[in-house]
Each structure stands twice: as C-alpha cells, then as structure tokens.
Structure 1
Amino acid sequence: MIVPTAGAALLITWQTRHIKSELLHNIAVVFWICANAYWMLTEFYSKDDSLRYYAVIPFSLGLIVIAYYYIGNFEKKYFKSKNSTL
C-alpha cells in the first residue's frame, strides 16, 4: 500500500506545482507519507527498535515546509498592513 499512496501523493503534488500554497502543503504530505512508510517498514521488518526513530527526519521536514509557508504568509500580511498604515 506504500507505493500507491506515495504515487498518488506525488501525482497530486506535481499537478498542483503552480499554486504555491497547494504545492507546499502537498510536499509536506509527501514527507509525512514517507515518514509513516519508513516507520511501518521498520516496525514490521527490523528487530532494532532504534531505527524507527529516524522517521522523525521526514516528519520534521514536513513541519519545516508548513512552517515556512505560514511564517512567510504571516510576515507578508504583517508588513503589508504595517506599511499601509504609515
């Protein structure tokens, strides 16, 4: 089930590449799907429990992408409204 899920997420990401907000959200979703897939595979096939904690890397990358989008939008709105009142 990993391949169709990741494939669908990548396809949707590719289709929305021209809309910045959609693109960044879908990139985050792709990272989260990768994190979940990695975690699931290490749970099923690895005897070393410490390997599953590496799933935090793609999950964190997804959070960074979302934070980049929302912090950038906040700054644009804040500075636009602050400059318009001057």
Structure 2
Amino acid sequence: MTNEESEIIDLNVGGTYYTTSKATLCSQESMLKSLFNFPRVYDKQNRIFIDRDGKHFRYILNYLRDNYIDIPSDRIVQNELLREAQYYCL
C-alpha cells in the first residue's frame, strides 16, 4: 500500500463523522472513489462533507472494508440501504 493509499480520511456524512483510509474508499469502483477525482466540499473541521443521511453509512463503509454486508431484517432499513448503495454506485 502506498502512502497515498494509506492516507487517513475524515468524513462528515450528514453530520455523522467517520474516519477511514483512502484505500478503503477506493476499494470499489464507486462514487466514493471518484471523490478524489473532482473538487470536494469540506466542513469547518476540514472533513470531506457528503450530503447524505449518515445513519447507514457504516454499512457502506464496512462493505468496502470486507466486501460483505450484514443486512438488517427490517424492510424499511433494507430499502434505505438499497437507496444508499445506489447513490454510492455500489
């Protein structure tokens, strides 16, 4: 892993904060990988800002880390996760 890939990235997803590596965000061909090809929006603490509900982003992030997701049994949550996965092009 190069220094650039191991770079630590702080995210603000709709007011919920996450920290991960650039390598994790770039592990799949997705909107998150494309973040590094275009100008980004930052919050006041210099975290990359993504204007989405941050509630389910942990599932997205864990999927990128493990290439696996534990899907909750709640149908409403499943539909919300599907919308988020579609938004992030996963």
TM-score over 0.5 (shorter chain): no
| Higher fraction of strand | 2
The two structures have a TM-score, normalised by structure 2, of 0.27
- Higher alpha-carbon Rg: 1
